[in-house]
Amino acid sequence: MARVRNPLEPMSSAVTIIVSLFAMAMVLGVFGSMFADGVHILGIGEKPVCATDTSTTVGGGPVPPMDMKAAPGARVALDASPSYCASHPSTVQGLLHTGTQVPSFVFTVGVLLLVLRLIRGAEGDGLYTARTAERLRRVGWWLLAGSVLAAIGKSVSEKALLDSLSRGGDVSALSGLISWDAPYMAILTGLGVLSFARIMRVGVAMREDLDGTV
């Protein structure tokens, strides 16, 4: 009898490899940041700390306009938008810098773990089951809500960091709640996954009704 191939391949192997590489990179990053100079993880201990005011557009030049002032201990550089940097950031500035990277990291790790759990559960319970449909629904909600929350969290941290590095501007942490970039692809993908999970639940219910009738 011919061996039935796993219908979840190559996704199952790909996700497993990605999760393993991700975990290995995290371990190496932690040890590297502890024992090697210039190696940082999630911006912890990184110097200098910089933030760019993307809401302001200026031409490059050696002298910034009067309304673009850096905070004490920071400097401003002009390109398409003013960029503020601190070579020796304070503890708060360091935490805010880390906060700009943590939301995306948490979102990515959450997606990988939920998809891995979905695949492992489907391999054990079967594809067309209520449990698999529920796990798929959780992936969809994470893509939808998690991507939005990650974008807002990153925006708030970036604006708060920019506020701490500059003086005289209108940027604040609250402005990050308004000016965040919507992750349209993640939102659309999450909606699609939720729709497919609903279709699966309906299919599972119909299959159970048919099995009960027979």
In a domain, 55, yes or no: no
Q: Let me know if residue 2 belongs to a domain.
A: no
What is the share, in percent, of the chain residues with pLDDT greater than 90? Answer: 36
Evaluate whether residue 41 is within a structural domain: no
Range of the domain at 139: 14-21+90-213
Give pTM, 2 decimals. 0.83
In a domain, 84, yes or no: no
76 occurs within a structural domain: no
Among 55, 54, 35, smallest CA distance to 45 is for 35
Q: Tens digits of per-residue pLDDT, 63-77?
A: 555 567 878 888 887
Residue 74 lies in a domain: no
Please check whether residue 44 lies inside any domain of the structure. no
pLDDT at 190 over 90: yes
Structural domains of the chain, count: 1
Instruction: Identify whether 166 is part of a domain.
Output: yes
What does the pLDDT look like over 28-64, one tens digit per residue?
A: 877 777 776 666 777 887 888 988 888 777 655 555 5
Which residues contact residue 98 at a Cβ distance below 8 angstroms, ignoring those fewer than 6 apart? 42, 43, 44
Give the pLDDT confidence of 124-181 residue by residue, as tens digits: 888 888 899 999 999 999 999 999 999 999 999 999 999 889 886 677 778 888 888 8
